[in-house]
Amino acid sequence: MKEALEKIISGLAVNSEAVEVTEDSEGGKNVRLSVRVAGEDYGRIIGREGRTIKAIRSVLYFAGLKQGKRFQLELIED
């Protein structure tokens, strides 16, 4: 899932070299995905009224249903 999320975020970001995705499994079914982007890409990832980040979280939710996991997305600004 980490690689898929990295492709999605890199496609949206202007500075795609600065995109960094880390995956932290908190044991069991919970998986935290942390995304670090450059400052100029932060607003682009969030989107107007948060629509883009909500859509990405929805994709993670439904992918988690298929895998039996719960993905949490955290966006970190540099």
The full set of domain ranges for the chain reads: 2-77
Rounded Cα distance, 70 and 78, in Å = 26
pTM here is: 0.88
Question: Does 1.20.1530.20 match the CATH number of domain 2-77?
Answer: no
Per-residue pLDDT of the chain (78 residues; tens, 9 = 90+): 899 999 999 999 999 899 999 999 877 899 999 999 999 999 999 999 999 999 999 999 999 999 999 999 999 876
Cβ-contact 53, 73 below 8 angstroms: yes
Beta-carbon count within 10 A of 36 CB: 15
Beta-carbon count within 10 A of 60 CB: 21
